[in-house]
Chains A and B, each alone.
Chain A
């Protein structure tokens, strides 16, 4: 039997950050206010930036510092700002939408949803663990966690029936992919990474516009009425 080896400081640190990202994703299930949902997204993005700095420092990839800075500028500052601005003016019945209550939009109860999310996360974790992925920048455990984040984000998007949570679920799904990219594609050229980030910003603006349009017509964030097109 092989002796169990304690992970080094680097691997341990990276794995802890990855797990924190997953925990923030779970935290999104119980957020009742849109404002807090956006705040959770910002903190999750900040964790991605911290991980980028850590990988950059240990693996001597200085461009990851730039990536971390761009992540902070766009995902921690700009995107939450854009989301709040777009939602502030058009709250239902004049109330500020950023404080809108989205707790009741879940299709399932909180406990059952979290149970499903745990099962899905475990599936993602072990499925990725079965992949023979080696020679990567960050520890492979982080890759398994990233797939869990992606799958749990899907659960969030499916379970929540309001436009804002669905959008934020999608953006956090993108965070999960950023995490996977830090593990297996850390040396991806910076120019491409930055292009991807600006593309995300563009998507956020369009999502915001469509959310505003939805609120303007439905006078709520709920997607329960989006059932007229079928067949």
Chain B
């Protein structure tokens, strides 16, 4: 089974190298194959980690928690890769400039996916930091790819803020090393497993400092308030498939880093302190996002703020600490990846169709887009936690966990703010999709079939997660929850 993990780390890297040299059409086929293969390999890891944690090559460590994030990333990677074929075709860029754009796009997309698949597989806190830093560097170039003024501005803000945040996280990593070396001796190499085993003996001040710095630092990449400010810009200016990966996978992978520090800190200091820290960041992010969602004129920014909202929900869910809430959080990671990937891909179709990101420029979406219209509506409803989609189930579990842990006030705040966010999202979707079309309207029809298929797959996944998650998956989530709750 170790082979599967190695192949998973090689496939996207190989795809990145080959797509740089291939013509655009072949590069698209290679990327789509690599994406689907990565998702399949992530699924193949589920039975492997049910018996034991995988450890290989000295620095790769994959347990149930890692696999949850590998699944989320693999799925969005596969969808975004297939979608990109239609996205580039419908852009209609020809000639040398179009080819140069396509080559950078495909190579960058694969490299970005590779760095995000590598991060949850790292068994060493320093390598985890490096992998997340590489995600920043690669995705900043992808955000700048469109070459517009907005893209240049968004990329600069993103790379500067995220790098400054990660510098803080590096400081946290160094304090984690100090704490570990205190117990394990100077030859300690920041490996995660040994640190968790001795967590009970770590010096408390250093552990506390490492956690707060890690939450603030990696939280910059997660998009937690008040260090979220790069997020709406980068998500709205990036090419749409990149937005889907940024929002569906990158934020989750960064949250994974916080979860690892949470695990160590909870074992070192007891769960009280890390939970309180996450609760504060979570509620603040959720509040900010809900208010910004109410009156948002740009629908890609709308989806970006919805990401801030959902990351806040994740942080609050972890702060509840009850097993059912943690299972809800991990299910939420998967469901949010599918739903947000879908929503961005649907938004990309709207941008292609109407040539604008303004909510007010889009009318009669359901009428003009026979497939993408209803699918986008489904994605927005799924993001608003409507049944029967997966996010309904996950948020239900999180709130149940909050009540079970007697965090009644926080659970009530969560429900109220999620409802406010729903109001904002549904108002905008209503204006774009359910209004009669305004002439002159673009012709009825889809820009490309490649831009519909992955979104339909996402809806299927959301329905499966909401109605009846497969037994293997719930088993995986239970093992991941057990790992989060008690040190190995």
Contacts and interface: CB of A to CB of B under 8 A. Distances in A.
A189 B189 contact: yes
A151 B134 CA distance: 24
B177 A184 contact: yes
Contact of A192 (B141, B189, B301): B189
Contacts of A185: 174, 177-178, 181
Interface in A152-174: 154, 157, 163, 166-167, 170, 173-174
Interface string B322-345: 000000000000000000000000
A123 to B, nearest CB: 16
B313 to A, nearest CB: 22
Contacts of A199: 130, 133-134
Contact of A196 (B126, B156, B157, B159): B126
A78 to B, nearest CB: 17
A217 B181 contact: no
A89 to B, nearest CB: 18
A177 B232 CA distance: 29
Interface string A134-156: 01100000000000001000100
Contacts of B159: 206-207, 210
Interface string A62-103: 000000000000000000000000000000000000000000
A188 interface: yes
A202 B134 CA distance: 8
A150 B171 contact: yes
A223 B155 CA distance: 13
B72 interface: no
A184 B177 CA distance: 8
Contact of B301 (A177, A188, A231): A231
B297 A231 contact: yes
Given A187-B181, A189-B189, A229-B153, A203 B174 contact: no
Interface residues of A, number: 40
A217 B149 contact: yes
B190 A188 contact: yes
Interface string B287-308: 0000010001110010000000
A209 interface: yes
A132 interface: yes
Contacts of B298: 231
A214 interface: yes
Interface string B163-176: 11001001100110
Contacts, number: 112
B182 A202 contact: no
A170 B160 contact: yes
B137 interface: yes
B258 interface: no
A115 interface: no
A157 B205 contact: no
Contact of B137 (A150, A173, A206, A214): A206
B186 interface: yes
A166 B248 CA distance: 29
Given A184-B177, A199-B134, A207-B159, A177 B171 contact: yes
B184 to A, nearest CB: 11
B149 A166 contact: no
A214 B140 CA distance: 13
Nearest to A166: B160
Contacts of A157: 160, 164
B152 interface: yes
A131 interface: yes
Contacts of B154: 229
Interface in A178-231: 180-181, 184-185, 187-189, 192, 195-196, 199, 202-203, 206-207, 209-210, 213-214, 217, 223, 226, 228-229, 231
A231 B236 CA distance: 12
A133 interface: yes
A217 B206 CA distance: 45
Contacts of B364: none
Contacts of B160: 157, 166-167, 170
A146 B409 CA distance: 41
Contacts of A177: 167, 170-171, 174
The interface centre, meaning the residue of A132, A163, A199 with most chain B CB atoms within 10 A of its CB, is: A199
B140 A206 contact: yes
Contacts of A181: 174
B178 A174 contact: no
A201 to B, nearest CB: 11
Contacts of B296: 231
A217 to B, nearest CB: 5
A86 B174 CA distance: 31
B233 A229 contact: yes
Given A133-B178, A185-B177, A187-B181, A228 B153 contact: yes
A143 to B, nearest CB: 10
Contact of A217 (B130, B152, B203): B152
B144 interface: yes
The interface centre, meaning the residue of B124, B137, B233, B236 with most chain A CB atoms within 10 A of its CB, is: B137
Nearest to B160: A166
Contacts of B205: 131-133
A210 B156 contact: yes
A199 B129 CA distance: 10
Nearest to A128: B209
Given A199-B134, A210-B152, A173 B167 contact: yes
A75 B164 CA distance: 18
Contact of B130 (A170, A196, A228): A196
Contacts of A167: 160
Contacts of A223: 156
B63 interface: no
Contacts of B144: 209-210, 213
A132 B175 CA distance: 12
Given A173-B167, A213-B144, A226 B189 contact: no
Given A157-B160, A213-B144, A213-B152, A229 B182 contact: no
17 contacts: A133-B205, A135-B182, A167-B160, A184-B178, A189-B187, A203-B133, A203-B137, A206-B140, A210-B144, A210-B152, A210-B156, A210-B159, A217-B149, A217-B152, A226-B156, A228-B149, A231-B298
8 A-B pairs with the lowest CB-CB distances in the bound complex, closest first: A187-B186, A184-B178, A229-B233, A185-B177, A192-B126, A226-B153, A206-B137, A189-B189
